[in-house]
Structure 1
Amino acid sequence: MTKEKTQWKEFLEVVSTLQWILSFLFLGVASIILMVCLMFTSWWPLSTLYFIWLVMDWQTPERGGRKTTFVRRWRVWDHLRDFFPIKLVKTAELNPNKNYILGCHPHGIMSIGALLCFSSESCGFTKVFPGVRASLAVLAGLFRIPVLRDYLMCAGLFPVSKPSLAHLLSKRGKGNAVVIVIGGAAESLASSPGVNAVVMKQRKGFVRVALEFGADLVPVYSFGENELFRQVVFSEGSLGRRLQDLFKKIMGFAPCLFVGERLVFLPYKTPITTVVGSPISVPKCITPTEEEVNHYHRLYMEGLSKLFQEHKVSCGLSESHTLQII
């Protein structure tokens, strides 16, 4: 029998959810504006000192970051988890004596399932996979933004760049699980309720990295991620889509026009189930050939499709739903 939530608990969940949504949308811009404005006030030494320190600290995100257990265990993540709710499902063991690259799908608008499951302890990753450390890799450009970069690093996020991935897979021993949302900005533009489409036919860089460092590949699917917001999806070739593609090319991410259930930004209360699939064994090959990359990329797509088919019904979809790989 489900325990009824108190009004206070529901309030905390809403506030915690808004905290992340507003941080995702506005913290970067607000941080830049704040630092620039401080330069023209009596607080200018504070801004100047920060920028000096920023230059000295520029490479830290790609050299292991500054993950803090305190931030990863914030109660705010627990309330955010309970708002939907979100849960993590294991289908196979991950050997702590190996390294892994977990490909998470779909991106959705904000990848909330990936954030909660792999960048916080709210879904119990370290208990579900003992001895394995999860590291969520996100858009590298975010770590060039003052203040925001420090928040992201404290939460244990890393840039999805080659130096960063190389550090995580070669300088920290074994038991590392690097999580990459493969579809990225292109996939976010396809996010809409009822849509199960992933962008990855031409996304092979993560497979090449896995081969270079001998990291096993693990498909992950977050059922419900695309149901959180209703998005205005522009057709290919339209002015709206061309503007989105241009912005994505320049900035690295695509602006999405979306609405939620309440207060515009608040997402729909749709359960998210993040299912971690079985590892695909990958040999170490410092200079992999195109044939090898294509082979393991194909195995990965087959593993992802199988994962979707086996768990779609138990995660709320009907038998008629299929996974579209673009």
Structure 2
Amino acid sequence: MKIEFAPLQTPLARRLQMAVMLHWLFAFLVLAPLCVGLIIILIIYNYWFLYVPILTWLYIDRRTPEQGGRRSNWIRSWTMWRYFKDYFPIHLIKTWDLDPSHNYIFGFHPHGVLVAGAFGNFCTECSDFKELFPGLTAYLHVLPILLWFPLYRESLLTVFLLSLSKPLCLDSFLALHMLFGYLLLPALGCRAYLVPVFSFGENDIYKQVSNPEGSWLRAVQDRLQKIMGFALPLFHARGIFQYSFGFVPYRKPIYSVVGRPIPVRQTPHPSLQQITELHQTYLEALRELFEEHKGKYGIPEHTKLVFK
């Protein structure tokens, strides 16, 4: 394999962008298993005076991810996040005004391998979210298992990554949720408007190893999906000093387009028919959003959006 090396004369801004990206990848891919491994080592060697307080705090603080987290505007405003945003770069595109007197659930599609667009636009103060949607506060919701890793969870809660362990209806403040396939019941139960978001370029920052139906890789991923609730695909991109292989994402622009809100009537105990009808309405709105904007962001006109 021929290796294509990055040029030696690289602008300082791009070097800083790379440094921030490496920090983010470490936090996303390495920090969680590292923290779990640390707890296991402490237990094996019976350092009870260290692991008992940590596990006790984990139990006492177990409801925090469902109650707003521990938002730190200072951390969310770090200059490093602007370098993260500019690495790709990431853009937030508004197509419709959102009334801040309503609650909204944003469905983010596709979230990609590492959810870079959602993180850059909704977990930092370096995007244009406040200017585009004044009066709204963003919360990124993730699978509960990610918030059960000791120590690692504390860093997530500061940027407002919240648990999806149950539908949230927060009357004390406006909630904007970025959900991974979990939209309809919270919307019906809380009278939150559904807002489709299509993130063009999200799937271009990594290449994935093929996993067709019936392959051993798909079988393993399906098994992990059932056990943990998620299964990361095998992916690859570029390296730090070369473009040929590695786990650093490609510098591909990401355009997260926020569509028109879908009004939802509050229904605490919706029927299967009501859920199905809302589901179809949402899918059609997402399809229309994709069709309207695909030509602007490099998607061939003949490309169709297929739901599985």
TM-score by length of 2: 0.91
Contact 1:68 1:154 in 2 (8 A): yes
1:124 is matched with 128
Tell me, what secondary structure is at the counterpart of 2:138? strand
Contact 1:215 1:282 in 2 (8 A): yes
Specify which of 231, 240, 246 is matched with residue 208 of structure 2: 231
- The CA distance in 2 between the partners of 1:258 and 1:42, in whole Å, is 37
Q: How far off its partner does 1:48 sit?
A: 2.9
2:269 is matched with 287
Tell me, what secondary structure is at the counterpart of 2:127? coil
247 and 133 in structure 1: CA distance in 2 versus 1, 3 angstrom threshold: same
- The CA distance in 2 between the partners of 1:54 and 1:213, in whole Å, is 28
Mapping of residues 6-17 of structure 1, within 5 Å: 7-17=11-21
Q: How far off its partner does 1:172 sit?
A: 2.5
- How many residues end up aligned between the 2 structures? 295
Please tell me whether residue 63 in structure 1 is matched to residue 40 in structure 2. Answer: no
After superposition, give the CA deviation of every residue in 1:11-51 in whole Å (9 maximum; x if it has no partner). Answer: 11001111112221111100111233345679753433222
- Which residue identity lines up with residue 170 of structure 1 in the other structure? L
Q: Could you list the runs of 5+ residues in structure 2 that have no partner in the other structure?
A: 1-8, 241-245
2:37 is matched with 33
2:172 is matched with 172
Contact 1:140 1:160 in 2 (8 A): yes
- The CA distance in 1 between the partners of 2:66 and 2:206, in whole Å, is 32
- The CA distance in 2 between the partners of 1:11 and 1:44, in whole Å, is 43
Please tell me whether residue 262 in structure 1 is matched to residue 239 in structure 2. Answer: yes
Contact 1:230 1:260 in 2 (8 A): yes
2:6 is matched with none
Specify which of 309, 312, 322 is matched with residue 291 of structure 2: 309
2:164 is matched with 160
- The CA distance in 1 between the partners of 2:50 and 2:128, in whole Å, is 38
Tell me, what secondary structure is at the counterpart of 1:103? strand
1:253 is matched with 230
Contact 1:18 1:265 in 2 (8 A): no
TM-score by length of 1: 0.86
Q: Could you list the runs of 5+ residues in structure 1 that have no partner in the other structure?
A: 183-204
2:137 is matched with 133
Contact 2:88 2:252 in 1 (8 A): yes
1:53 is matched with 57
- Which residue identity lines up with residue 223 of structure 2 in the other structure? L
- The CA distance in 2 between the partners of 1:63 and 1:309, in whole Å, is 37
Contact 2:75 2:158 in 1 (8 A): yes
Provide the identity percentage. Answer: 38
1:20 is matched with 24
- The CA distance in 2 between the partners of 1:55 and 1:65, in whole Å, is 15
Please tell me whether residue 240 in structure 1 is matched to residue 210 in structure 2. Answer: no
Q: How far off its partner does 1:247 sit?
A: 1.4
Please tell me whether residue 319 in structure 1 is matched to residue 301 in structure 2. Answer: yes
Contact 1:100 1:177 in 2 (8 A): yes
Tell me, what secondary structure is at the counterpart of 2:295? coil
